[in-house]
Every structure is written in C-alpha cells, then in structure tokens.
A and B are shown apart, each in its own frame.
Chain A
Amino acid sequence: MKADFLKKRATAAEAFTRFDGPPLSLVSDAAGGLFLFYGDPALFALSPVLAGWRLSLGEPVFFLDGNHCFDPYPLVNLAKTIGQNPKTFLDSLFVSRAFTCHQMGSLVLNQLREAMGSHHPRLVILASPLETFYDESVPLIEARNLLHHLTAALGRLAPGHIFVVLSPFPKKSAGRRAFFLSYLKEKANRIFRVNRKENASSLSITEEKPAEQQWIFPLETG
C-alpha cells in the first residue's frame, strides 16, 4: 500500500519535471491564497498544467468557467503524456459554467462553499470570471456591486485553498468596465502578468505583486 502510494508520487513528480518552472513553481509551495494571472488570452494554456498538477495526485479540482472556455482536450493530452489515465483526470475535474454575471455571482457566493465541502478540492481555477460582468445588459452599478461581493468572498475562501484566477486582458468591448480587473488585483495575494509576443512559442510571466520577477513558460507547438 505504502509502496504504491510512493510510486504514484514518484511518477507524478517525474511527470512534472517538464513543469518545474511556472506556473506550478509559483503556486505549489503556497498553503493557500488567491493567485491572479492576467494578460494575453494565451494564458489559458496554464490551466491544464495547473489542474494536472493536483489531478495527478488523485485530488479533485474545480473549474469555474466564465466564458465557455473549458477545453478538455489539452488535459487529456497532458494525462497521456505523463502516463496517467485521462478518464481519471476527467472524472475528478469539476466544472460549472456561468453565462451571466448573476450566475457567476451566485456560483461563488452561494454554491461554491457547499460544493467545496463535499468534494474538498485544494485547487480552484476561475477562468475569465470577469467576462460575464462586461455584459452591458446589466447596469454598471449592479455589476460592480456584485463583483465587489464576489471578490470579497474569494478573499474569504482563499486561505487554505489555492485559488487561481485566469483573466485575459479586457477586450475593447469591455469599454468602461475594463477597470473591473482592479477588483481582482486588490484581493490577489500574488499577481502575475502574462505576455506573449506575436507567434512566440512561449509566454513570459512577470510577477507584479509582491516581487518583480520574470519567468518563461513554453507553449505546446504543432
């Protein structure tokens, strides 16, 4: 039993030698907190690695999808590459999609705590949570207040869990709402800005808070 467990740990560690850099190295030592990655839309490439990290240890992972951007295929590929069963990965990653900011709000404010209580994920990924807040059919003040409560709730939930927020730069269509990103920044324990040069095969990740540091994350090519 013990041997099995050790073996599993070993394969997982081995598997992630490829990923000894960011984003894992940036969040893996933390006991908990809110980690914000924002910038180039290519930053979603970070999510399978992050999810795979906990999934390979047999833990469930939560994925809160604010822009219908969940894509299972990179995760399946990752599982195959590191010699894990893709089915186990897919069975332990839990997704909830929100199409309106009221849904996103209700998800974080009302549903999340209970769901975390029954599945015990250590890692919670929020993908594009702001996207639904850019929808102008909801008045600005209403969206802003809701977002304020949402980020406050994230701040309360984060200690003891790793919350990773992936937030692409606001599109031009976000208009006056582009400042919503600052609400996330305010609550984040660490902030990383993700850049990608046109057609570059890697992302550069710069820490903005608390320290100024920079890393490179290679993208899958082909």
Chain B
Amino acid sequence: MTRKTLSGWIFDVYAVAGGMRLWLIDRSGKKHRLFERFSPVFYLGGAPAALKQACAFLSRLSLPLHMKPSEGIEFYSGKTLPVMQITVENPLHFKKVVRWVIAQENQKGRLGKTLVLYNADLSLPQQYFYTKESFPLAFCMVLLEDSRILALSVEDSPWATDYAIPPLSIMQLRMEGEAIDPAQTTARALEIEVEGRRHVLEGGHESVVVARFDRMLVRHDPDLILSEWGDPYILPKLLAAAARLNRPLSLNREPGKKVLSKKERSYFSYGRMVHRSQSRTLLGRWHVDVRNSFLVGLTELEGLFEFARLSKIPVQQMARTSTGTGITSMQMDLAFQDGILIPWRKRMPEAFKSASQLLLTDKGGLTYAPRPGLYESVGELDFASMYPAIMAKYNISPETINCRCCPENKVPEIGHHLCQKRRGLVPRFLEPLLEKRARYKTLKKAAADPALRRSYDERQSALKWGLVTTFGYQGYKNARFGKIEAHEAITAYAREILLQAKEIAEAEGFEMVHAIVDSLWLKRQDASETDYQSLSERISKACGIPIVFEGIYAWLLFPPSRRHLNLGVPNRYLGLFESGKIKVRGLEVRRSDSPPFIKAAQREMIDLLSTAKCASEYQKLIPKLKLCFERYREKLHSGHVPFFELAISKTLSKAPKDYQKASLSAIVAKELSGRGVDLVPGERIAYVIVDEKSKVPAERARALGFIDGTWSYDVQKYEQLLKQALEALYIDCMF
C-alpha cells in the first residue's frame, strides 16, 4: 500500500458499493479514479409510537443500517426536534430504504401526520457534497492510500470568482446538415469533431459506424462529449446498434457499468405541459446535449459550471435540470449546514384566505402600458434583481412570513406580516448570491481580455436567470422553499416600490412613458445622463433597493398593438441607446417561433434603423426600410427561399391524436406520426406553410424535416408575416 497526495479538480462523483467514486483531473489533464467511504443519512421524526414502529420495520430489513436518536431544527418553527437518525451504510441501498419506508408508512396512513421524513429526497452526490462541504469542479488536495481517499481538503470556494476549470478534452457529436431534430427528418450521417478535426461517419453498415465511433472514443478519450440531440437521438441510436451487434461501446469510464438512461417524460405539472427529453449520462465522463440544456443553451458552459459549483449538483445533472432546481439545492445546502431538517416534498398548503384578500394579494407586478409611438429622450431605469433584493431586505422567507411573534411588522396593502426576530433561510441564501452576481458585473466591466469579459458575463447571466426563474412570477410559488404568502409579500413590496419610484421621478419633472414590474421608462426633454444618474441614486436610497440607470435612448419605439392601433403592448419595444446599443423586446426577431427568414429581414431593418441618431432620422429611413422589405418580398416571390429559412417552430400542447381542430401544428404533428415519428406533448416541431387556405388540411403545412422539392411554400402567407415584421417598426398612422 502506498500513500501519496494528489491535487486536482473534482470532475465526477457517483455512488458505488460502500461509498462514492470520485474522478479527479489534475493540472496536466490526467484523470484519477478514486474511492471514498460514504454512508448517507436520513431522519425520521414524529410521534414516539409511530417512530418506534418505523424503526422496528427498518430493523427487520436485513440491510446494514444504523439508527440512533438525534436532533435537528424544524424549518418552519425553528425549534429543535428529537429525531431518529438513520445511516444507510451502503449508498446503493439508500433510495430503496427510503422508498420502503414511504410505502410502509403510506399504507398505514401515518406519513406526514404522525411520521415525518427529513433529508430523504437528496440525491447521493448532493448529500455527499453537502456533508463534505465540497462541490463539483472544486480544486482540492487528497491524501490517498492506493486509490482510496483517506482525507480530502477543498482548496477552493464556491463563492470564488477567479476559479479555474480543469483542462478538458472535448468531442462534439451532431448529425450532418441543417440543425433539424434528427428524429424528425431523413437519415443523416454522424459528424464528429475532435481535436480540431471534423470526421463524417458516412453511411455504410451500422457496424462500420459503431466500430469507428468506438475507436475514436478510445483513441481520444474525451472528458466531455458535447452533442446536439445526443440525448434523444444520437446516443440511443448508437447504443441500440451496439447492442444489436453485441459490441459494447466505451462510453463510460467506469468499467462494467451501463450508460445511465432516463426515459422521456411528458406530463402536466403546475398547469402546463412539460416535456423532458430522454437522457443518456455517463460515468467518469460527461455527456452534455446542448439541445437539452437550458443553461448551456443560454450561457454555454460557463453558466453550467458556475451553477454546478454553487448548487453542488454534478455537471451532467445540472445541465439537464432547471436553474430553479439548482437554486433549491443551494438553499437545501445552507439548511443542511445549519442543522435544519429538510422536509420531504413540498406540502405546506396556502392558509385559507377570503376571496377579497385573495384579490388583493394575487395582483402580481404593476404594469403601465406605453402609448404607441416613437419617442426621444427617454431614459430607462431598472431595479436589479428586484424580487430577490426585496426578499433580502425585508426578510421574506417561508418561515418568516406570518410568524407567531411579530404581528405588528405588516407588509403594505395585503395584511401579511414578517418576522423581525429570526433571519430567514431565503434571505440568508440570497445575500451572498446577489453579492456574487454584482461582483461578476464589476469584473466584467473591468476586464480587458474579451474572453474573460465574456465568461464573467455568462456567469452573471446564469445567476440572473436562476434568480428570475426561481423568484419570478411563476417559479416562486412552486419552489421547495417557496410559500405563496411569501410570493404575495414580495409582489406587494414590488408594487409599492415601483409607485414610490414613479412619484420621485414625477416630482423631478419626469414623465413616465412605460413601466413593467421592475423597470421604468421616463422622459424629460432636457435631462442629461447625470440627471438620470442622480435620480436613480435618490430612488435607490429612498426605496432601499438598488435601481440602475440603463441609459438614454436616442429614439425608442413602442409599436401599436395589432388589434388596437392606439394601444401599446407592455414589454414590446425597439430602442437605440445613445451609446449605440440596440435593445429589442417582444418583436419577431426575439420570438422563438419566427421563421429565420422573417427574423433576418427584421434584423436587417433594425440594423438600418440603428444608424438613425434621432426620431427625424428614423423617419427619413422609412423609404429604405420599405426597399429592404421589397427585396425580401422579391426573394419570397422568386420561390428560391430555402425551406429551412421558412420554418416555424412550435411546441405541441397535445399528443398528435388528441388534436380536434386542424391547426397547422396539429396537421404537421399528424403528418410526422404518420411517418413513424413518435411525438409527445411538450415536444417541438418545425414546419413550412405550403398553402394555408388549402381545402385539404394535409396540404396546408408540411414538416420541415421531410419536405422536398415537390412542394412550394405559401408566398402570400409569408409575405403577410414579412409585412407584420415591417409594420412593427413602422405604421403609416404613426408617422
């Protein structure tokens, strides 16, 4: 037996018999496969008789378990509770034991009433990281006996902003050709990019493709396989072919283990259809499908790494989960470190409130719709991370809202109250996170190196999205540490603060043009940047929540609503800051379902407009805008626009057979099912409109992946879409 020390980054962690497998990558890029003993723990609380019976049940299981009386803090009351600590010696037994306890207690009707489970739904890597106060991608030093970890010291902090990422070797996988969901089109060749070279595994027999792919895996031994549609298509296909050929693929680095697969799921949750693609994750190597990852799609890998480090969720899982789950894990970690028992499942219902109270509390954020038109000298002020900042400032958390001790500390307007004696978990968790995001923003401004600037920006924007999705309009109600009353308190403060900001601005002679929840658009003819700066300082001071001056617009357009020409639409605008930066919200270029052709046309028109330095120059450009429109119109009429450019992509709300009306989505979904493509609600499809008015539904639109030269697109329809894209920027009646 040899003892040695080693330093490097924690790359992957998963449970194996008796403990955790830990992969470390050292500075030279070398991988080390290590093992650490680890026994996960959960707790049982409740009435003594029920506890006794549960323990009797556990001791009848012939598994190595240890039970001992212990204590923990109850989340809502803050009181210390006696509990039974159950240590499951082998982590591979953990899930099973918890499942058995749940089934047994559910059957007896005790669960949640006389018996309560705590810390029971933490994943094993999460629990390992929480316990060891370590995290994915942490740089650490380990003391080893052979490959067994005797001691591990973390020489890194999740709060660090200047951390390094291990040197990773990357292999990219995609199907050749345009970016179309490979399950919804004809067969294509597999394309592999590795070490700067592109290889196309052209047709031939599947055995040839599988063998070549496997040889490349072995030769390049990539740490990260970065794919497009690897989860639902490429890996399942390759694995199925390998199984048929009885030829194992070297995808895992853990010998003798299968690739982990999760089935696709489509379900109704919180009032909307959710689709989770199937997934294929690896052991000792990462597979990340960029098409199946919110974070990677948004911020590339920087945001993913940032989230994995902070949330303590391993990279492959973090890539596939929502930022909300990441944020919840950060809160659970804090609770865990404080000895708070983490309640199993979200169960605290809303307290009964009268319908009048409900109308008062359920109002959400304030919105003042803009009057349509082209404006000059408008400035924009945004409250930074308003909801989280409010929670931190007013101590809003599920266990502080309507506490038993502070009925006098009222929330404005709605009658809830907040604790002044106990600092809440959510505010405590938010403070360092908000601070970290602010630090990234400062670093980004100061960074001279563009690559560094981009990486800071990606990290801060990942944090921003995490905060928005968790504490935004919908998310908070559903979060594990969310409580509807807390959400109501936040929106009540937000309304008050926005009104307060409006009043301060109006007192200084500004006119409010538009406002939405946490942003204000103000106008005063002579106002300079300094005026806006000092206004935002005064508002920040008065409200206690920082408001940021975004800039003055050289011009700002609020297009009219398509139905009511004299009404504007909240959060739909186009403006040019005096700094030269264009800002667009709600227009076709920003919409995920717009055809690329229409987006390109509007993008070009917007580029043209960005040369206008004031409203009158904007108006002078309108003839040019019309010329641009004409050019695109001609292209359309030539019939030569590629189908790919005309694709409209939509999310299916139902299974193809459940559609009653012949909407275009329904028609195409049926076409695809007819071609043997399995579609489930929540999945996205792409189609081209071929003849919208056709009497034969199947001839109105066709699936992008299968459309061929025997079809032609509906020129009139696309011209109409093009016209709408133009008219969003210019309407006769406005000028």
B354 touches A93 (CB 8 A): yes
Interface string of B316-358 (1 = CB under 8 A from A): 0000000000000000000000000000011111111111101
Which of chain B's residues 505-557 have a Cβ closer than 8 Å to chain A? Answer: none
- Does B78 lie at the interface of the complex (its beta carbon under 8 Å from any beta carbon of A)? no
Residue total for A at the interface (Cβ-Cβ under 8 A): 46
Q: In the assembled complex, which residues on chain A have CB atoms less than 8 Å from the CB atom of B346?
A: 99-100, 102-103
Q: In the assembled complex, which residues on chain B have CB atoms less than 8 Å from the CB atom of A138?
A: 345
- Does B271 lie at the interface of the complex (its beta carbon under 8 Å from any beta carbon of A)? yes
B109 touches A149 (CB 8 A): yes
- Complex Cα gap A100–B480 (Å): 11
A134 touches B268 (CB 8 A): yes
On whether A111 and B655 interact (CB within 8 A), knowing A95-B358, A106-B112, the answer reads: no
- Does A4 lie at the interface of the complex (its beta carbon under 8 Å from any beta carbon of B)? no
Q: In the assembled complex, which residues on chain A have CB atoms less than 8 Å from the CB atom of B349?
A: 96-98, 103-104, 106-107, 111
The distance from the CB of A34 to the nearest CB of chain B, in whole angstroms, is: 19
Q: Which residue of B lies closest to A135 (CB)?
A: B269
- Does B265 lie at the interface of the complex (its beta carbon under 8 Å from any beta carbon of A)? yes
- Does B162 lie at the interface of the complex (its beta carbon under 8 Å from any beta carbon of A)? no
Q: Which residue of B lies closest to A116 (CB)?
A: B352
The distance from the CB of A40 to the nearest CB of chain B, in whole angstroms, is: 14
A62 touches B113 (CB 8 A): no
- Complex Cα gap A102–B111 (Å): 11
B273 touches A110 (CB 8 A): no
On whether A109 and B112 interact (CB within 8 A), knowing A70-B355, A97-B484, the answer reads: yes
The distance from the CB of A189 to the nearest CB of chain B, in whole angstroms, is: 22
- Complex Cα gap A56–B359 (Å): 20
- Interface of B (DSSP majority class): mixed
B345 touches A95 (CB 8 A): no
A102 touches B354 (CB 8 A): no
A96 in complex: contacting residue of B109, B268, B352, CB < 8 Å: B352
B347 in complex: contacting residue of A63, A87, A93, A103, CB < 8 Å: A103
A90 touches B271 (CB 8 A): no
Q: In the assembled complex, which residues on chain B have CB atoms less than 8 Å from the CB atom of A93?
A: 354-355
A90 touches B268 (CB 8 A): no
Q: In the assembled complex, which residues on chain A have CB atoms less than 8 Å from the CB atom of B112?
A: 102, 105-106, 109-110
Q: Which residue of B lies closest to A89 (CB)?
A: B355
User: Among B99-107, B164-172, B252-260, B382-390, which stretch is in contact with chain A?
Assistant: B99-107
- Does A75 lie at the interface of the complex (its beta carbon under 8 Å from any beta carbon of B)? yes
- Complex Cα gap A44–B648 (Å): 36
Q: Which residue of A lies closest to B653 (CB)?
A: A173
- Complex Cα gap A102–B112 (Å): 9
Q: In the assembled complex, which residues on chain B have CB atoms less than 8 Å from the CB atom of A119?
A: 352
- Complex Cα gap A142–B100 (Å): 11
A137 in complex: contacting residue of B109, B267, B358, CB < 8 Å: B267
- Does B654 lie at the interface of the complex (its beta carbon under 8 Å from any beta carbon of A)? yes
- Does A27 lie at the interface of the complex (its beta carbon under 8 Å from any beta carbon of B)? no
- Complex Cα gap A171–B653 (Å): 12
- Does B596 lie at the interface of the complex (its beta carbon under 8 Å from any beta carbon of A)? no
- Complex Cα gap A96–B270 (Å): 15
- Complex Cα gap A172–B537 (Å): 54
Q: In the assembled complex, which residues on chain A have CB atoms less than 8 Å from the CB atom of B477?
A: 99
- Complex Cα gap A142–B345 (Å): 11
Which of chain A's residues 134-174 have a Cβ closer than 8 Å to chain B? Answer: 134-138, 141-142, 145-146, 149, 152, 171-174
Q: Which residue of B lies closest to A110 (CB)?
A: B113
Q: A102-B346, A105-B112, A106-B348 are in contact. List 17 more A-B contacts (CB 8 A).
A: A70-B355, A72-B359, A90-B359, A91-B355, A99-B346, A99-B484, A100-B347, A102-B345, A103-B347, A106-B347, A106-B349, A109-B112, A111-B349, A111-B351, A135-B270, A138-B345, A145-B107
Chain A residues in the interface with B (C-beta under 8 A): 62-63, 67-68, 70, 72, 75, 87, 89-100, 102-107, 109-111, 115, 119, 134-138, 141-142, 145-146, 149, 152, 171-174
